[in-house]
C-alpha cells in the first residue's frame, strides 16, 4: 500500500512538472505573452498587446533593433485638434475686431465631439393610425381572397 502511494505521488509530481514546463513554453519569453510578432519582408512586426503600439524589428550588426511605427490615426487627430484651435483663435480675432464671420460660420465654439442630430418627428394621431389600419386590413383581405381564388391553392 505504501509503495502504491509513493508511485502515485511520483507520477503526480512528474505530471505537474511536465505541465508547468509546457505552460512556460506556450507563452513567449517577453513579459508573459505581452508581445505578438508577425514576419514581414523587412523583419518582424511587434505588437504590444497592452498598449497597441506597433514596432518594426530589424536585424542589425549588433543584434535586433525595434523602432516604433508611426501611428497615422494619432497624427491625424493631432492635426485636427491643431486646426480646431487655430480656427477658434481666428474666429475670436475676427469677433474682437467686429468683423463678420463668413457665411455659415457661427461665433459659438464648436464642440470637438460629434454633434447629435436633434430631429423632431411628429407622431401620428389616433385618427391617422386608424385610417392606416383600415387600409392594411383591406389589403390583407384582398390578398387572402386572391389566394383563395387562385387555381391549385387547395394544395398549399
Could you read off the pLDDT of 13-69 as tens digits, one per residue? 565 555 554 444 444 445 567 888 888 888 888 888 887 788 889 888 888 888 887
pLDDT at 31 (0 to 100): 54
- Can you tell me the distance from the alpha carbon of 68 to that of 57, in angstroms, rounded to the nearest whole number? 9
Instruction: Tell me the backbone φ, ψ of residue 42, rounded to 5 degrees.
Output: -85, -10
pLDDT at 106 (0 to 100): 66
pLDDT confidence bin for 135, thresholds 50/70/90: very high
pTM: 0.31
DSSP result, the chain: -HHHHHHHHHHHHHHHHHHHHHHHHHS-TTTTTTEEEEEETTEEEEEETTT--EEEEEEETTEEEEEEPP-HHHHHHHHHHHHHHHHHHHHHHHHHTTPPPPTT--SSPPPSSPPPP----PPPPHHHHHHHHHHHHHHHHHHHHHHHHSTTGGG-
Could you read off the pLDDT of 83-109 as tens digits, one per residue? 999 988 988 888 889 888 887 676 655
Amino acid at each position: 500500500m505504501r509503495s502504491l502511494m509513493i508511485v502515485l505521488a511520483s507520477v503526480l509530481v512528474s505530471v505537474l512538472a511536465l505541465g508547468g514546463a509546457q505552460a512556460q513554453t506556450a507563452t513567449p519569453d517577453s513579459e508573459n505573452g505581452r508581445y505578438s510578432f508577425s514576419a514581414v519582408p523587412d523583419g518582424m512586426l511587434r505588437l504590444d498587446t497592452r498598449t497597441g503600439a506597433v514596432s518594426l524589428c530589424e536585424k542589425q550588426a549588433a543584434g535586433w533593433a525595434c523602432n516604433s511605427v508611426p501611428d497615422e490615426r494619432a497624427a491625424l487627430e493631432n492635426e485636427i485638434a491643431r486646426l480646431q484651435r487655430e480656427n477658434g483663435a481666428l474666429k475670436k480675432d475676427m469677433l474682437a475686431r467686429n468683423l463678420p464671420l463668413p457665411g455659415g460660420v457661427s461665433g459659438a465654439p464648436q464642440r470637438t465631439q460629434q454633434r447629435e442630430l436633434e430631429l423632431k418627428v411628429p407622431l401620428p394621431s389616433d385618427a391617422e393610425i386608424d385610417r392606416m389600419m383600415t387600409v392594411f386590413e383591406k389589403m390583407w383581405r384582398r390578398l387572402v381572397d386572391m389566394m383563395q381564388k387562385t387555381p391549385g391553392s387547395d394544395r398549399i
